[in-house]
Amino acid sequence: MASAASLPRLALLTLAMSLAAAASGDTTTTTTAAGLIRVNCGAAVSATDSDGRTWDRDDAPSSTAGGVAAAASYEDPSLPSAVPYMTARVLDSAYTYSFSFPARRPGRVFLRLFFYPASYAGRAAGDAIFGVAAGGVTLLRDFNASQTALALNAAYLVREFSLNVTAAAGGRLDVTFTPSSDAHYAFVNGIEVVPVPADMATKPVPTLANGGRPDPMPIRADTAFQTVYRLNVGGTAVSPGADSGLLYRSWDEDSPYIYGAAFGVNYPKDSNVTIRYPASVPPYAAPESVYASARSMGPNAQVNLNYNLTWILPVDAGFYYLLRLHFCEIQYPITKPNQRVFYVYVNNQTAQAGMDVIALSGGIGRPVFADYLVVTAPGAGQTDLWVALYPDVKTSPEYYDAILNGLEVFKLQTYDTNSLAGPNPPLPDDNAAGDGSRARPKKKSGAFVAGWAGAAGGLVAVLMGCLCAWAICRRKTKAAIADVPKNPAPGLHGPTETYVFSVTAQK
Ligand SMILES: *[C@@H]1O[C@H](CO)[C@@H](O)[C@H](O)[C@H]1NC(C)=O
Ligand SMILES: *[C@@H]1O[C@H](CO)[C@@H](O)[C@H](O)[C@H]1NC(C)=O
Ligand SMILES: *[C@@H]1O[C@H](CO)[C@@H](O)[C@H](O)[C@H]1NC(C)=O
Ligand SMILES: *[C@@H]1O[C@H](CO)[C@@H](O)[C@H](O)[C@H]1NC(C)=O
Ligand SMILES: *[C@@H]1O[C@H](CO)[C@@H](O)[C@H](O)[C@H]1NC(C)=O
């Protein structure tokens, strides 16, 4: 383990260097440090948000082409900061924000779009219907920010995309806003571009456990992603300023997505446990606060054998989704393999049997994550992703229990239409009786979450579940062996096929 111990520093160094290089390459009018671009759209001067982050003024001209700068008249108390939400650029026709990186193309970036639906320039919030495209990919289509915010019970929205700028024409990042018709307008309150480490999304090409490769291979170097969920499981929300790797991600609480009343137990790490990132898991994978808290099924083996710890995540139908599950054992006495071993089910299919976090990670306080790929049925509307954990008693582990520390869900661009756009989420039905288990408090953060309301009556048809786990461990593990159904029979009433990718060691 001696040589492995020196590797995390190397990874950190690489990240620091790539961010620094990106910074020197940024010669746009922006003043932000570290290669970031933050535009406070519609603002005449640069400003600092409540997190201490600097946002540049909006240089776009106020003209027919550039639209007009406008301000919101009412500041919703749940806005995290007046900047960038209280000003907007309002566009009557298509307009492109163009970001260039002359000295060095940044490779993969997070592109974040900030929306605060309000009345701007005398126009009703509900009249803003528009599309957004970047790097040849449709990010949003006929986007109704008002409806989306209403459906999510949020005052504002952050839409986060991951794009490979190198692959885009000329290495520029053009972000185009287009009103859906003459009667409608487009608006945006803030745009943020954050360079991300090269290896963050691109993984070795997975092979199916039963041989062959998925056709078409859904993840390429230039595949665009959208972050749909990013949850600090068993922990509290993490604000952008508290994220690791200077990536400014938001991590939300997981409790609103837990199915039914069986919440398990959430807990922090023992105070004498130190989170130590192994070489395969650079610190930017997730901040310590994500790994340092967890949710498990609970202390009672008999209770645990009688339920699945389940998260239900509404998503747009018809896309591939990359699920990233973050694990870390953080409490004594779990320090050895075969103490806590469990199944990971995705959409009622076995994504992984024999998941043993200690065996994968190498010890207590050592983070590890595993990726799974899910294919949802073609179609409009929303569908539910089910992620469930259940004890795997086959190897007679010491505890009949399961654990999860973090959960990310990314939507992958389609290639036939080069799109990430889904429908606006349906509004919740106020008259629906409901069992109360899905009632949620008004969210402070409107980030990322897809429409919960869609879950209620949503189509739960998943023609093919296609799962992969290239867990980032240096050990080969028997966890790779999972059930691959022999007779896939596509139907409309549930998942019919699960592919499990073999676990691949990652250097
Ligand atoms: C957008 O959504 C809002 C809120 O649901 C609605 O009032 C408005 O009519 C919608 N706009 C259009 C053009 O459908
Ligand atoms: C971006 O795309 C280019 C060209 O397809 C590829 O060579 C490069 O590895 C990609 N970068 C990342 C970070 O995926
Ligand atoms: C750490 O603390 C826990 C309880 O707080 C205890 O059970 C465990 O033995 C301690 N471990 C070490 C290595 O000190
Ligand atoms: C999983 O199974 C439950 C119980 O049978 C069912 O209600 C649910 O719709 C299934 N979920 C999916 C995504 O198929
Ligand atoms: C847990 O979920 C799996 C997969 O959907 C299912 O086969 C199993 O019956 C469930 N177990 C319990 C106790 O609900």
> Residue range 329-341: average pLDDT?
97
How far, rounded to the nearest angstrom, does the alpha carbon of residue 74 sit from its chain's CA centroid? Answer: 30
Cis peptide bond prior to 490, omega within 30° of 0? no
In eight-state DSSP terms, residue 44 is S
Mutate to test the pocket of ligand 4, among 315, 349, 386, 467 (most ligand atoms within 8 A of CB): 386
Q: What is the pLDDT of residue 380?
A: 76
Can you read off the two tokens belonging to residue 425? 């989420």
Q: How far apart are the first and last CA of the chain?
A: 14
Alpha carbons 235 and 194: distance in angstroms, whole number: 25
203 lines ligand 2 (CB under 6 A): no
Q: Please, which pLDDT band fits residue 167 given cuts at 50, 70 and 90? A: low
Residues in the chain: 507
In eight-state DSSP terms, residue 40 is E
Q: What is the pLDDT of residue 66?
A: 66
Q: What residues line ligand 1, using a CB cutoff of 6 Å?
A: 126, 129, 144, 146-147, 150, 427
Query: H helices within 300-371, ranges in order?
Result: 301-304, 357-361
CB atoms inside a 10 Å sphere around CB 273 = 17
Better-predicted residue by pLDDT, 483 or 287: 287
Range with top average pLDDT, 88-102, 188-202, 440-454: 88-102
In percent, the amount of the chain with pLDDT more than 90 equals 56
Better-predicted residue by pLDDT, 103 or 405: 405
Q: Residue 506 C-alpha to ligand 5 middle, in angstroms?
A: 31
- What are the residues facing 194 on neighbouring strands? 110
Report the amino acid identity of residue 200. Answer: M
Instruction: List % helix, strand, coil for the chain (3-state, nearest 5).
Output: 15, 30, 55
Residue 356, SS3 per DSSP: coil
Q: What is the pLDDT of residue 199?
A: 67
How many helical (H) and strand (E) elements, i.e. helices and strands, does the chain have? Answer: 7, 27
270 lines ligand 2 (CB under 6 A): no
Identify which of 185, 187, 132, 184 has the alpha carbon closest to the alpha carbon of residue 160.
Answer: 132
387 lines ligand 4 (CB under 6 A): no
- Give the strand pairing for 68-71 and 87-91: antiparallel
CA distances from 307 to 29, 329, 388 (A): 56, 21, 10
Q: What is the pLDDT of residue 489?
A: 26
Q: Which atom of ligand 5 is nearest to the CA of 388?
A: 2
Alpha carbons 25 and 2: distance in angstroms, whole number: 36
pLDDT of 283 strictly over 50: yes
Q: What is the pLDDT of residue 267?
A: 97
Q: What is the pLDDT of residue 172?
A: 84
Report the amino acid identity of residue 369. Answer: F
Identify which of 109, 97, 91 has the alpha carbon closest to the alpha carbon of residue 18.
Answer: 109
Closest ligand to Cα 330? 3
Q: Residue 348 C-alpha to ligand 4 middle, in angstroms?
A: 6
Token pair 């885009």 in the structure block, residue: 168
Rounded to 5°, angle at Cα 168 from 507 and 227? 60
Alpha carbons 41 and 121: distance in angstroms, whole number: 14
pTM strictly above 0.75: yes
- Give the strand pairing for 252-253 and 225-232: parallel
Q: Which atom of ligand 2 is nearest to the CA of 200?
A: 13
Identify which of 34, 316, 321, 414 has the alpha carbon closest to the alpha carbon of residue 192.
Answer: 34
Instruction: Confirm if 371 and 469 have CB atoms less than 8 A apart.
Output: yes
Q: What is the pLDDT of residue 16?
A: 26
Rounded to 5°, angle at Cα 202 from 422 and 490? 50
Sign of the dihedral defined by the CA atoms of residues 202, 206, 212, 218, in that order: negative
Alpha carbons 432 and 430: distance in angstroms, whole number: 6
Alpha carbons 266 and 233: distance in angstroms, whole number: 8
User: Taking all residues of the chain, what is their mean pLDDT, rounded to a whole number?
Assistant: 77
Alpha carbons 285 and 287: distance in angstroms, whole number: 7
